[in-house]
Structure 1
Amino acid sequence: MENSKNLHRLSAAGLLISLGVIFGDIGTSPLYVFKAIVGDGAISAMVVLGGLSCVFWTLTLQTTIKYVIITLRADNKGEGGILSLYSLVKRRAKWLIFPAMVGGASLLADGMITPPITVSSAVEGLRAYNPQLPTVPIVMAIISLLFVFQRFGTSVVGKIFGPFMFIWFTMMGLLGFFNASLFPEIFKALNPYYAIDLLIHYPNSLYILGAIFLCTTGAESLYSDLGHCGRANIRISWIYVKICLVLNYFGQGAWLYQHQGAILDGKNPFYLIMPDWFLTYGIVIATIAAIIASQAMISGSFTLISEAVRLNIWPKVKINYPSNQKGQLYVPSINTILWLGCMLVVLVFQESKNMEAAYGLAINVTFVTTTILMTVYLYRKRVSRYLVALFASVYMVVELGFLMANASKISHGGWLTLLLSAIVLFVMMVWWWARKVKNSYLRFVDVEDYFPILSEITEDESIPRYASQLVYLTSANFRSEIESKIMYSILQKKPKRADVYWFVHVDVTDEPYTSEYKVDHLIPQKLIRIDFRLGFRVEQRISLLFRKVIEDMVKNNEVDITSRYVTLKKYNMVGDFRFVVLEKVVSRSNDLRFIDKMVIDVYNFLKRFSLSEEQGFGLDSSFVTIERVPLLIIGTKEINIKRV
């Protein structure tokens, strides 16, 4: 299994995988950025030079400085993404969960829009040969195949896609360099004066600013996919990627500048700068690159949900690890949700020009929330207050300006982005809120107070033996306490006699691959507690882990698991094991506020689609008893009734 050092080691293979997994989204932005900037109006020098200048400085400020240089430093044991960043700063302030959830929801919604717009933009190049070509079925088929491919893992995806993306970026760079070299005057757009002039004097600058933002929409993927490729590989490969992107933008700008007064009329300047003999090859390569572009957001979404489950702001879902390589994961349920979202976007908007209005708004929200969390992180790391204030002020001004521009797109398609984000955020909020409600009614008792009765009940033959070894999963963090409902289950809800009682606690650590356990003999040979410390990337197969612990303890003569039944003991047979999982239920009592009742109702509905407790902990269902216990029992003080 690769460790963190191997993950972050700079290598040719790592650079190639980075090209295939990380830069697909931002790397295909030249397909639609300038088409969106120019729009349906006549080409003008102000739009071309100002647009180019804005694109260059947006890539520099947002992608290079904010994400590649600064944000990539905030890794959580090698993992990246907005929820990993939240994990690093959550102790500073509880309210940070809200920007984390908003940013995470927006990022997931963006994963439903990125594949349709990139694939559509590439496939529509075929209309140069057949203007009436129906592209929607082609786009839907390509995206569907991509989602089928996800189950093989991003390591396989990266190795296959990496070489294609190298060809893609090289092609873009050469095409851009060739066109820009024919009109070198275009490089004066590197001067930020032209960007400022456009934003101040152009009558529709707010709309253009929203189009310019599309050039950096893949920046968050660089951070989300940190665990897949490593910081060093991302930073070095970005140098080559940015050079190729800038050259292509300036090549398109050179062509547009020489065609002032013309109207694009649906044509794409990305294809217009290609020689006629190369157009077919260009469309094929662009289509492959567009397929790969979708990968960055999809793999980032898998990482996002993995973190959300660990933070208890998303229902427990099945997470597969296609390989032992760190950072490689596949979430079947999210794969299906993203596919359905992509199909909806394609069917609603049909063409890429209609998707441009919906694109960018969601990821812009993620940018803002990342800035908030990153500001807290930098302050926590004791970076100079002046530098932290400079970072926060610069990026909040820039990103809120982009947000205002993108907000103007709401009526033109941005409503779908907001709708998808709101649905995801609603699920996160309900899961988080319901857990808070349940935890507020969870009561713990001092386990030592029950030592005498537990010692006696094991010998009380008037109570039928429930199991030889009775195992309870507990959420109590300390060995001195236990949930009152566990004691209620043992002593009152059909008393359960056992030869040995076991309390098993699972602590998920910030380390990815921790696998440790500790044993406490609370009552020798009668009550034993086991604490597992498992990394957030370790599959929680408690049945197997518990069996391994028992084997070790038997070898060390710490416990006797021989059956106490006379006949079975005569033949030295091992006693039976029974796991009891308490499903804590909050009843709809009058003690709950109306809003809490509504949240619990929605939570119970969502729980139907999540993994059960025994599945989440990897327990064998044939040895598990599920007990529903009420967390909130209605009292009788307020009940008015008279005996007659």
Structure 2
Amino acid sequence: MSSHVRKLSAAGVLVTLGIIFGDIGTSPLYTFQTLLKEGGSHGEFLVLGAISCVFWTLTLQTTFKYIFITLQADNRGEGGIFSLYALVRRYGKWLAIPAIVGAGTLLADGIITPPISVTSAIEGIGLLPSLAKDFVPGNTLILGIVIGIILLLFFVQQFGTNVVGTLFGPIMLIWFVMLGTLGVLQIAHFPEIFKALNPMYGVHLLTEHPRGFWLLGAVFLCTTGAEALYSDLGHCGRKNIQVSWIFVKTTLVLNYLGQGAWVLTQHKYTNFAGVNPFFEIVPHFFLIPSIGIATMATIIASQALISGSFTLISEAVSMNFWPRITIKYPSNIRGQIYIPSINWLLCFGCIAVTLYFRTSENMTAAYGFSITVAMLMTTILMYYFMRYVKHWPLWLVVIIVCVFLSVELSFFVANAVKLLKRLFFLVFEFGLIFTMYIWYRARKINNRFLNFVDLKDYIPMLHSMSNDQGIPKYATHLIYLTKANNHKQVEQKIIYSILSRKPKRADVYWFLHIERMDDPYTMEYTVQELEDDKVIRVEFRLGFRIQPRINVLFRKVVEDMISRGELDITSKYESLSSYNLPADFQFIIMEKFLSYNNNFSVKEGFILNSYFAIKGLAQSEAKAFGLDTSETRIEKIPLVVNPLSNIKLKRVETGM
């Protein structure tokens, strides 16, 4: 996203409406309907109390926590739980756990938000008298339309959204204006509804209603998009989000008030089962356009969540929380990516949710738990941000965190009763969190057993071998990727690969190292010639949102060095050098496999076996680093964590 969109401007606010507020902006489609269903009555006590709870949830949770506090935790303009983790990870190794859990639950939200939003919109067609018999919630026709929209939505991801994306802002502006207008029309008939803004109505509902506290599970639906709001910070900028939220919140509150006013003026319903107040407050002549606008708004909300999922996984790969997978770039827009495996995984999940729950009412009964967990994890990380990054006073941080935790733990407990209705999601969430945890822990175990040696001790050998005509030349330029942070060191396995496994004579030995920076879009490099024209180390400093396309980056380094007169890549072969042909380059990628010669604990064994099982399904390192297969050789090396010892093998002497 260009920098001018991040600055406060009318264009920036319009773009923000299209990208940021789709999820939370479509919640009026189902939130109040769910409250009426679970409340079991429609008197003033329930209606005023429910709207009061919704208003103060939007105020405390969305406005106070996310708009005012959490948006300050921007990592060079970027938001999201991994951006936040990158800011605070130095203050505790264990902070990786809330980052993993928060990311996993946020990703799990991606398989229910599109179905519940789109289904809620399409079900509105059933209010048309001529189509009421055909469009019954949960029937095959509605399911077919919803699944068709979902399939189309995920299919177009591979082409990028830069063309249709320009329409998102204007469409969402129309949507929010419609929300506010519909609300005002109903409020005019029952202005007493403004009493609902008094927090005491909410308190009375939660303490005196038979289901009281448990209604918070339905109330929470009004703020489920708050976490995604923070994740999309980098697309629009803090100021644009904060300013546009004033307009968005106003229209949302007006619509909720309008739905409440309509309910309190109705006498034809003895109960509101199967009735959606959102579409009931729409004038009959405007019903078809409103359904069309609602459908487009839900598609936009789903698109924002899908794009956010791609970004989240991309960051997870960069920060070693997720296996390397294919990441594509469908357009030239910065940050716009497409991950085929995640795209179709989410698509399958969305279709499964649609077929399993069938109606939006059933979906809302299972919705919300994942986001409460994600919000709790963000609060934990925010404590460290406020205390150690912003250096706020301890007493102030404790008060803020206690307010957040009291609200979110209440929502968590209220949503916990939905667990039996959402076992499908638990499997999905567990799979995501398990994958991240295993990948993270296994990499830590792996790195623990890396042995580094001083490169200077081996430079004379490399120099001698390079000049030894008795050894066949392996390549003119031989390139290894190293994990050694110290530029004077390299892994022992690399030295073994060069000198012992099969001597690899080359004219120039390159060692490339990638350092992941907390700044999301850093792209820098340094060059150190450890031995003139013989041993060169290149340090790439890449932000966690930059894909390590080493082939492209290394080519750029070589071009820069040639232009500076620091490197000559003319072929060293006598028969070719006179023709000024370029020399050859050869990458060596060292892939590990779990050796049988190990004797580790049950826990480490489970983690490592799971890691290599997952790795077998992941993208190869050569592809992950964008290396040309014709210039890359793979060497398999065993991972020995705890070698077998004390083998009781006895030699028996035989008489001759």
- TM > 0.5 fold call: yes
Q: Aligned partners of 1:236 and 1:504: how far apart in 2?
A: 45
Aligned to 1:567: 575
Cα deviations by residue, 1:216-250 (Å, 9 ceiling, x for unpaired): 00111110111122212211111111111100100
Closer, same or farther in 2 for the Cα pair 1:623/1:110, shift >3 Å? same
Q: Deviations over 1:538-561 (max 9, x none)?
A: 443322332333344344443444
Quick one: distance in 2 between partners of 1:131 and 1:421?
A: 37
Separation in 2, partners of 1:480, 1:556 = 24
Amino acid at match of 1:81: G
Match of 2:600 among 592, 597, 601: 592
1:505 and 1:530 in contact (8 A); partners too: yes
Contact 2:318 2:547 in 1 (8 A): no
1: distance between equivalents of 2:381 and 2:92?
10
Match for 2:264 among 250, 257, 266?
257
Amino acid across the alignment from 1:130: A
Q: Shift of residue 415 of structure 1?
A: 2.2
Cα offset for 1:636?
5.8
Alignment of 1:342-381 (within 5 A): 342-380=350-388, 381=390
Residue type matched to 2:416 in 1?
A: A
User: Match for residue 111 of structure 1?
Assistant: 110
Does structure 2 retain, via aligned residues, the 8 Å contact 1:313–1:432? yes
Cα distance change of structure 1 residues 508 and 206 upon mapping to structure 2, 3 Å threshold: same
Matches within 5 A, 1:57-206: 57-128=56-127, 129-133=131-135, 134=139, 135-206=142-213
SS in 1 for 2:151: helix
Once the two structures are TM-superposed, the CA of residue 156 in structure 1 deviates from its matched residue by 3.8
Amino acid at match of 1:277: F
> Where does structure 2 lack aligned partners over 5 or more consecutive residues?
none
Amino acid at match of 1:29: S
Partner of residue 387 from structure 1, selected from 391, 396, 403:
396
Q: Secondary structure at the match of 1:608?
A: helix
Deviation of 1:570 after TM superposition, in Å, equals 5.0
Larger deviation: 590-599 or 453-462? Answer: 590-599
User: Which amino acid counterpart does residue 2 of structure 2 have in structure 1?
Assistant: E
**Residue number among 185, 203, 219 corresponding to 1:212 in the alignment:** 219
**Counterparts of 2:618 and 2:293, CA distance in 1:** 40
Structure 1 pair 595–588 and aligned structure 2 pair: CA distance change class (3 A): farther
**Whole-angstrom distance in 2 between the partners of 1:567 and 1:34:** 81
Do 2:315 and 2:545's aligned partners in 1 also have CA atoms closer than 8 Å? Answer: no
Q: Following superposition of structure 1 onto structure 2, how do residues 565-644 of structure 1 map, counting pairs within 5 Å?
A: 565-632=573-640, 634=643, 637-644=646-653
The 3-state SS of whatever aligns with 1:91 is helix
Is the contact made by 1:154 and 1:329 (CA closer than 8 Å) also made in structure 2? no
Q: 1:277 to 1:621 in 2, by over 3 A?
A: same
Q: Distance in 2 between matches of 1:589 and 1:321?
A: 42
Distance 2:24 2:500 in 1: 61
Looking at structure 1, the residues matched to 308 and 555 of structure 2 have their Cα atoms a distance apart, in angstroms, of 35
181-190 or 302-311, which deviates more: 302-311
1:483 corresponds to which residue? 491
Alpha-carbon distance change, 147 to 286 in structure 1, aligned in 2, over 3 angstroms: same
Give the stretch that moved more between structures: 317-326 or 360-369: 317-326
User: Aligned AA for 1:567?
Assistant: S
Report which stretch shifted further, 362-371 or 150-159. Answer: 150-159
Aligned residues of 1:228 and 1:326 also touching (Cα < 8 A): no
**In 2, are the aligned partners of 1:358 and 1:416 still within 8 Å (CA)?**
no
Query: Within 2, Cα distance between the matches of 1:536 and 1:410?
Result: 34
Which shifted more, 536-545 or 135-144? 536-545
- Once residues 623 and 364 of structure 1 are traced to their aligned partners in structure 2, the CA distance between those partners, rounded to angstroms, is 48
Partner of 1:10: 8
TM-score by length of 2: 0.94
Report the 3-state secondary structure (helix = DSSP H, G, I; strand = E; otherwise coil) of the residue aligned with 1:293.
helix
Higher alpha-carbon deviation: 588-597 or 401-410: 588-597
Q: State how far apart, in whole Å, the 1-side matches of 2:244 and 2:133 are.
A: 37
Q: 2:5·2:11 contact (CA, 8 Å) conserved in 1? A: no
Q: Deviations over 1:589-612 (max 9, x none)?
A: 332222222222222222233221
Give 1:586 deviation, angstroms.
3.2
Aligned-pair CA distance for 1:84 = 0.9
Separation (CA, whole Å) in 1 of partners of 2:157 and 2:580: 50
8 Å contact kept, 1:168–1:289: yes
Q: Give how far 1:520 is off.
A: 1.4
Q: Which AA in structure 2 matches 1:212?
A: V
Mapped to 1, the partners of 2:652 and 2:498 lie a distance apart of 34
Give a deviation string over 1:347-378, Cα, whole Å, max 9, x none: 11111111111111101111111111111100
By how many angstroms is 1:456 displaced?
Answer: 1.2
After superposition, give the CA deviation of every residue in 1:391-413 in whole Å (9 maximum; x if it has no partner): 110110111001110011112x2
Partner Cα separation in structure 2 for residue 322 and residue 551 of structure 1 = 26
Distance of aligned partners of 1:423 and 1:268 in 2 relative to their CA distance in 1, 3 Å threshold: same
Counterparts in 2 of 1:558 and 1:586: CA distance versus 1, 3 Å: same
Aligned-partner Cα distance in 2 for 1:588–1:136: 51
Quick check: 1:24 aligned with 2:32?
Answer: no
1:361–1:417 CA contact under 8 A, matched in 2 = no
Q: Which moved more, 1:435-444 or 1:324-333?
A: 324-333
**Cα-to-partner distance string for 1:564-597 (whole Å, 9 max, x where unaligned):** 4342345454332211111133324332222222
Give the corresponding residue for 2:468: 460
Q: 1:32 to 1:551 in 2, by over 3 A?
A: closer
> How many angstroms apart in 2 are the aligned matches of 1:382 and 1:66?
18
- In 2, the alpha carbon distance for the partners of 1:146 and 1:356 equals 22
Name the CA distance, whole Å, in 1 between partners of 2:161 and 2:240.
15
Q: What's 2:45 paired with?
A: 46
Shift of 1:514: 3.0
Query: Which residue matches 2:34?
Result: 36
Rounded Cα–Cα distance in structure 2 between residues aligned with 1:157 and 1:383: 43
Does structure 1 conserve the Cα–Cα contact (< 8 Å) formed by 2:50 and 2:205? yes
Match of 2:413 in 1: 404
AA aligned to 1:39 is K
Relative to structure 1, the CA distance from residue 557 to residue 282 in structure 2 (aligned partners, 3 Å threshold; closer, same or farther) is: closer
Task: State the number of aligned residues.
Answer: 641
Instruction: Provide, for residues 259-305 of structure 1, a one-character-per-residue CA deviation record: whole Å limited to 9, x for no partner.
Output: 36721130111111122222222222222222222123212212211
Q: RMSD across aligned C-alpha pairs, in angstroms?
A: 1.9
Shift of 1:164: 1.4
Distance 1:555 1:248, change over 3 A: closer
Please identify, of 588-597 and 72-81, the stretch whose mean Cα deviation from structure 2 is larger. 588-597
Select between 216-225 and 462-471 the one with higher mean Cα deviation.
462-471
User: Are 2:594 and 2:612, in contact at CA under 8 Å, matched by a contact in 1?
Assistant: no
Query: Counterparts of 1:292 and 1:496 in 2: how far apart (Å)?
Result: 55
* Contact 1:123–1:287 (CA under 8 A) maintained in structure 2: yes
CA distance in 2, matches of 1:554, 1:166: 52
User: What is the one-letter code of the residue matched to 1:447?
Assistant: L
Q: What is the letter of the counterpart of residue 19 of structure 1?
A: L
Instruction: State the Cα distance separating 1:639 from its structure 2 match.
Output: 4.7
**1:584 partner SS:** strand
How far 1:637 moved relative to its partner? Answer: 4.7
Partner secondary structure for residue 458 of structure 2: helix
* Larger CA deviation: 376-385 vs 281-290: 281-290
TM-score by length of 1: 0.95
Asked if the contact 1:30/1:215 (under 8 Å) is kept, the reply is: yes
Counterpart Cα distance in 1 of 2:580 and 2:180: 75
5+ residue gaps, structure 1: none
Is the 8 Å Cα contact of residues 445 and 483 (structure 1) preserved in structure 2?
A: yes
Does the 8 Å contact 1:20/1:157 carry over to 2? no
Q: What is the CA deviation profile of residues 83-137 of structure 1, one whole-angstrom value per residue up to 9, with x for unaligned ones?
A: 1111111001111111111111010001110011111111111222324433111
Task: Give the letter aligned to residue 599 of structure 2.
Answer: D
**SS of the residue 2:342 aligns to:** helix
In 2, Cα distance between the equivalents of 1:572 and 1:267? 79
